[in-house]
Structure 1
Amino acid sequence: LLKALSQLKITKKEAGLEIGVSWNNLVRWARKDVAPKKENLRKLYRFVKEKVEEKLRNSEEFMRILKNLTESDIFWDKVVKIEKVKGEEWIYDLSIPNCHNFIGNGIFVHNSNLLDAIAFAIGSTSVKSLRAGKLHELIFHGGNGKSPAEIASVTLYFDNNNKVFPFDEPEISVTRKINRKGVSIYKLNGKNTTREKIIEVLAASRIYPDGHNIVLQGDVTNVIEMNPVERRSIIDEISGIAEYNEKKEKAMKDLAEVDAKLKEAEIVITERYDIFKRLEEERNAALRYQELQTQLQTLKASLAYRKIQEFSKTLEELNKEIEKKEKENELLQKEIEAVESELERREKSIREIASKLVSLSKKVEVEREISYLRTKILINKDKIDSNRKEIERIDSLIQRLKEIEARGEAGLPRAVKAILDQKIKGVFGVVSNLIKVPEEYQVAIEVAAGPHLNDLIVDSDETAKNCIEFLKREKIGRATFLPLNKIKPVLFEDKELLKFKGVRGIASRLIEFDKRFLPAIEFVFGNTLVVENLETARNLGIGKARMVTLDGDLVERSGAMIGGYYFRAAKLVPAEAEIEEYQKLKGKLNEEIKTFEKEIQDCEARLKELSKS
């Protein structure tokens, strides 16, 4: 059977699909690894038998066609020799007298535009076979005084008395029109339809637009020049074998699709069966639940009845107990009335005593309030005196700060002070006046900045240029300018050092300043690390970064160490900011004095009211 498959050119995969067995099993049967089941052998036998019978039927049909071709009225002759000759080419035209076209064994033969018209009407799409460059060139272009046509139209009429075509009419018509845009319109019995419908109807009588019903010019030459395989393909097309093979191939594909859908259906059915089993179990559980619910209701009713009986018995006992208690209650009520009369007498006595106590307590409250008010007046007066002394001290500090500020401006370089005095637009001030430094970092920040404390921060290089030209013109001196639009901040990159013990942080992050000045501040302080002492700096590694200690020792990245006792000229905190803080504190103290004075007035007024009462 397996040899028969090979001779029939049927693959094991195709055979396996037909009999429902994996093609791997067929391979194992061939190698005799496993023995096939009898049922599978029967299926394989039936499949091979069907294929052999099918081949025999096709062969008989083919032989019948060949017999018809050999025994027909067509004269068959052998072309002995074909030679090409030089010179002008000749065209040989065969025709039948009185009628230039004829039908032989279902083949249309003609040597005129009539065949082109027939091929056009039955749906041919080959422009070359219709002897035109484009379809719209088939339309009449005019001539001899006649106007050009808008459309080209051909209508064929077919005899349908034998009901070859699937219509009841004895005659059917097929029409094809084409407009100048190259759009084709098909009609069947005068009704619009599609090309596919036309081809389907004509196929009933074995008429095809691209078939061999019509032998066009050059077709005979092409057939002569074909090799045997190509001629065989033409014979297959004419005899219907090719169509059969196409239908077979399509049927095989459809069978494969059906098989796949069957497998999918099996999977769905399996899943549905599992769902059915689960639903059946749920149904049984629901029925069992209903049965148990009924039993539960019965048991509940029985339990309720038993409880009602017990409650009735208990109720009788309680009623007897209530009667007994009511009698005892009457006795107790008489005793309570006697006790209440005694209580009323004693309450009357207590109210008289309480009235006397209230009178005395009011006097005590008045005395206590008077004492409180006098004490509060004395305390507020002391607070007022204390605040006034504090205000005097603050005034003294403000005066001293103003003197320090004046001395600080006097200590600025002559060129820097001259620029500040000019109040030039775009000049924001020196670095020392534009930052606010916590007390514990003042020395470290001052040493970290060095000579940059007196650098002037300006908005742009244009402003810096104008200031430098002014200093040159007036011959005042030199100053350093930090233009915000050009200055490049120096950022601290070794972030790992910030995690070490004793490291306080990057200098620029330990001070307060307006964010507009960030580039200039980062330029001055951005690359300096503030640490607690020299020991911390040594632990971090001399030369790894520029570091300054809280008491003013400086370690440069180059490895140079600068230190010793540091003499401070002045605080870094701007005097104006400190003065403003003191002014706020002074205002707050004045507000407290006003509040205390108002409280003293209220207390004195209350004392007068209490004295009158």
Structure 2
Amino acid sequence: SKVNEERRMKAWQEKIKNKKQEIERLKKQIDFLAENAEQQKVVLQNEKLNLVSMEKQVKESKEKLEKVSVELNEINKQLSDASGDSAESERVRRRNEAIENLKRVFPDKIHGRLVDLCQPSHKRFNLAVTKVLQKHMMSIVCDSEETARDAILYLKEQRYPPETFLPHHGLDVHPINEKLRELTYPKGVKLVFDVIQCNHPAARKALQFACGNALICETAEDARTLAYGSAGGDRYKAVALDGTMFQQSGVIGGGSHELKMRAKKWDENALKQLRERRAQLQEESNTLHRTRRKELDVEMQRNKLTSVEYRLKNMQLEKTKCETDTLNKLTFELESLESELSVIPPKIEEIEERMQEREREIAKIEEKSNAVADD
């Protein structure tokens, strides 16, 4: 019947509507998977870069740690050979404490002791340089006379031993006599200033003040020749490698036991630098050991990378399945429903035509019946 066919058509239309909604939901899911897959690709790329960076950092740390360990072992050997770890005397400790506190109280104004700011270019010059610098070897280099006065007051208040200061802006320094650099006799003669390594600007001026134009030579006889000169010749302040010093005035200073003890300060200074370097290397070693522990982080990063790759692969598989299998299946089902639906309207139309034909026949019969009745 027509009613049945109309009911059937309505049911098929509802099925088609639901199927279209199902396809729309699937397309949205495919779009979501595609977008998520792209995001995971970016995440994967970033995680790969992170892994490369971490692996590089761990590798560099291993290599650096090896170098640091070698240098640290060498420094420990040098300190052990020199008995560099022997206890300091109380007086030395107080003087070291004083300079450290001065640097803290007057930052950028107190530069340090002259002995800590420069170093003879070779150990064989130690005695001679010590003799020329004399008391200024332990003098404190600072920026100005005002700072020197404030520092002296501070030392008194803190009951530290008195110190000598060399203020950068208050020193009257005579220029180096360049002609002395051209001397060729006696053999090996040099300016004392030229055999001392010093890179600190303020310390260089203080060093020039303390050294003046003093000359250094191999032997005491050479030093005597330079100091007293030949008849009518120039006279110079000169020191021999053994610490014997001759003044132009004739005053002679020998290489005493006390001088040798004071000259050891250069060795102490070198040992101090070794200790500082050792502390620096130990800190560096600790930091590098912490970095090496990042090997575990690298392993975790690799696992994270595997997880992201697995997630991305699953998304891509699900997307492919949705696009090929599920969407094709739903599209086929929709087409089948639409095909089934397409045959219903013609049937309804056919039923309607039959009903109309029947109604016309009934009308004709009624018309004939009425005509007979009238006769």
State the TM bucket, normalised to the shorter chain: 0.3 to 0.5
Determine which structure has more spread, i.e. the larger CA radius of gyration: 1
- Higher helix proportion, which one? 2
Q: Which has the higher contact order (CA 8 A, sep 6+)?
A: 2
